[in-house]
Amino acid sequence: MARLSIFVVLLLVFISLANAASEDQSEEPGVYIVYMGGKGSSTPGTLRDDQAQIMNSFLKRDAVVQVYKHGFTGFAAHMSKDEADLIAQEPGVVSVSRDKMIKLSTTRSWSFLKLQHYLDNPIPETEFHRSKVHGAETIIGLVDSGIWPESRSFNDKGMGPIPKRWKGTCQETEDFRASSCNRKLIGARYFMSINKTSRDFAGHGSHTSSTAAGAPVPGVSYYGLAGGTAVGGSPKSRIAMYKACYLGGCDESAILAAMDTAIHDGVDILSLSIGKPAFITTDISKDLLAVGAFHAVEHGIMVVFAGGNSGPQLSSVSNYVPWMTTVAASTIDRHIYANVVLGTNQVIKGGGFQFSSLSASPIYPLIDGVSAKIRSHNITDRLARNCQPGSIDSSKVKGHIILCFNEIGDDPFDRIEDMINKGALGAIMVDDDFKIQSIDLLYENKTFPRTFISSKDGNAVLSYIKSNRNPTATIGRSATSIGFKPAPAVAYFSSRGPSFFTHNLLKPDITAPGVNIIAAWTRASTEFGIPGQAPPDYVVVSGTSMATPHIAAVAALIKSQHPTWDHSAIRSAIMTTAVQTCSDGSPILKFPGSQVATPYDFGAGHVNIGQVMDPGLVYETSMTDYYFFLCNYGYNLSTIKLIAKTIPEGFSCPKNANTALISNMNYPSIAIANFKKNTERKVTRTVKNVGDEDEAVYEVTVDAPEHLNVQVIPETLHFTQEYQKLSYDVKFSTKYSFDSDIFGWITWSNGKYRVRSPFALSLTERSIR
């Protein structure tokens, strides 16, 4: 079996331990998180009276692990299941849940974003990174695996003084001094019971930090691949690292403590490339990532979360609540290729990371799996064609390059490892998605010659083998090309909607570059090194973890341009200006396969940095909207009052509260569950005029499939002043029985601005509680 390391799982496998789904069923003592809502002490930063009283017995026996007292109230402590059950009954306690392990879910990506849709008229450097909007004064907090402060990406050349509002610190340890921080890296803290340092031994935190706000570093590459100038999307933003993760994952109690502290410190944006499986809990008060994000938003912080790497399965998207901005991952136009040359000198284009030393001449014997099949009545041609372990004869494949198809869909690296053990010289793997996305860097054997080619080319190579008595080939060392198409495309691993909990809210929200992103790494890990060479300072990695800091950076840029905008206005600008086509006008595709992507794959579409600063209209989602969401999700008013910091006087849950009303939340996308024929569903939305003209007239257009009737009332919005708000209704109806969920778009435009929202009508609905 391919020996993918623990860290490979840490980066690319978003699913937590299988037994996490039954988090509170264990009778063994452990760490439990006591969540006591958003109301704090009358003296900020001190314990609430009831909090102190409950904690008292645990403090006496030194059992407290974390204390939450800034953005919300609670603590985490070692206790028995019986103690946890008793505390859950105490007044003021919202929930008690067992601590869980959460998995952690650039030179070209920002250039690609600037060029996309602007090939004939690229966005000038002064337009995107000009002094007014390059992120100065904005602070991006990252909850991650720490940071490698010596990386060139974190130098503070040209940075001004640290903002006076900053209340954070650079937590000193023997290997992380106060001098490790500077005007770029303005804060670093750790929240671990082990590995007590802010230093990054995994690499993940350094990678995400430099992607978001790294300083420009010229001449960066990964052993000659993906070369260029590495720069974060908001290179003048400040970085604050909150280390809550290590090689094994992240303790939920530590993540919550990191978010609580970030609220106190004064970050503007929180970026978390972490998450749990979509199905892990139906109780928001026990989903403490959602809880921490809720309180961050209460305190004016935008929170950006990874959508997860559990795709392409439907309803696999993580971080599903409306106050989180949830990010999918897509490809860029840079391709890492490793070509095949046949004995006829025909070149077959392939994809993949490998640093082999084969000759450039096609002198090596070539064989296919069926020809190398072991003699056994149990081994079919299909198994051998796919090079399934146990199907290939060592004596036949030894010293050969072997052609293997991937029609069964198993892990190709299991089969590559088997070929190495059998003495093969190299492997040509037929797999369309790996060929296009080239995400095999994490496979530990980087010197074994292998490449991924398309099924069409695979059949061509097979024909060559069958038509020649002594077929030969070679596999070239990896190299980089720019301008690869189709790009962007939704990554096959990117988690998909609809939300597992409610189909009345569309998730993910947006997609951003998350495939083969090069950024800073740690010197403490040799995971990505090539034997005999120095460990790399910059590494190419894929995942929604990599897409998330792209959106955090864009949010920081918007915040620097519009400091009074709240998180929802920023999210709206990102979503309503997104694009759904590639630079050549073709639709964005999704993998596996080559189907056109839908809002379940990419939300509102692919981030479009050319328009986000000036969206024209924005949808503002207030805290009251979120309180109503909790009502309609199934919580009563008394519980919501415990969770929230403050509730508007006179607020009450609707008497007819139900999940269908979630669709009416003022969100930049529209999602409706249980949509049936011969019924009409109506939603209302409100937009705010933030364009550069006080008076503006917007006309609506609707893109909808045949047989779906979509009526927008009114069809014209006439704004007469800046910041004016106007509302409109959308009615959906049909007399047709659709056999799959329905997607479309509602676009408001006035000639200058294009404000576009997706809609998703689901034929079903989850039972969420």
Task: Give dist(CA 567, CA 270) in Å, integer.
Answer: 11
Q: Catalytic site residue 545?
A: yes
DSSP readout, 477-490?
Answer: PPEEEE--SS-SEE
Nearest to 292, CA basis, from 260, 266, 321? 260
**Please, are residues 501 and 324 in contact by the beta-carbon 8 Å criterion?**
no
Task: Give dist(CA 461, CA 49) in Å, integer.
Answer: 74
Task: Give dist(CA 568, CA 619) in Å, integer.
Answer: 7
Nearest to 452, CA basis, from 425, 423, 477, 432? 432
Nearest to 588, CA basis, from 612, 613, 607, 570? 607
> Where does residue 59 fall: left (phi above 0), alpha (psi -120 to 50 degrees), or beta otherwise?
alpha
Give the DSSP letter of residue 766: -
Task: Give dist(CA 350, CA 430) in Å, integer.
Answer: 9
Per-residue tokens: 609: 């940095």
Q: Which of 545, 560, 568, 669 is catalytic?
A: 545
DSSP readout, 214-250?
Answer: PPPEEEEEETTEEEEEE--SSTTSEEEEEE-EETTEE
Nearest to 328, CA basis, from 621, 604, 57, 715? 604
Residue recorded with tokens 């939305």: 685
Q: Map residue 220 onto helix, strand or coil.
A: strand
Task: Give dist(CA 642, CA 636) in Å, integer.
Answer: 10
CA 574 to chain centre: 15
Nearest to 173, CA basis, from 154, 201, 153? 201
Cis peptide before 531 (omega within 30 of 0): no
| CA distance readout (Å), 459 to 15, 403, 411 | 35, 10, 20
E strand or H helix at 271: strand 269-272
Per-residue tokens: 544: 């929604």
Task: Give dist(CA 575, CA 556) in Å, integer.
Answer: 15
Per-residue tokens: 288: 């403490």
What sign results for the dihedral spanned by CA atoms 4, 6, 7, 12? positive
Per-residue tokens: 454: 């398309």
Nearest to 601, CA basis, from 333, 317, 279? 317
| Cβ-based burial of 52 (10 A; exposed 0-12, middle 13-18, buried ≥19) | middle
Q: Which of 70, 109, 134, 144 is catalytic?
A: 144
Task: Give dist(CA 422, CA 440) in Å, integer.
Answer: 21
E strand or H helix at 6: helix 6-12
**Angle made by CA atoms 206, 211, 216, in degrees to the nearest 5:** 100
Q: How many helices (H) and strands (E) does the chain have?
A: 18, 40
Q: Catalytic site residue 200?
A: no
Q: Map residue 465 onto helix, strand or coil.
A: helix
Per-residue tokens: 370: 């069926």
Q: Catalytic site residue 463?
A: no
Q: Which of 204, 295, 503, 567 is catalytic?
A: 204
Query: Who's near 242: CB < 8 A, 6+ residues apart?
Result: 141, 142, 143, 144, 189, 191, 258, 259, 261, 262
Strands 302-306, 269-272: pairing is parallel
Instruction: Taking each helix axis as running N to C, give the angle between helix 567-576 and helix 544-561, from 0 to 180 degrees, rounded to the nearest 10.
Output: 110
What sign results for the dihedral spanned by CA atoms 336, 341, 347, 348? negative
Catalytically active residues are 144, 204, 545
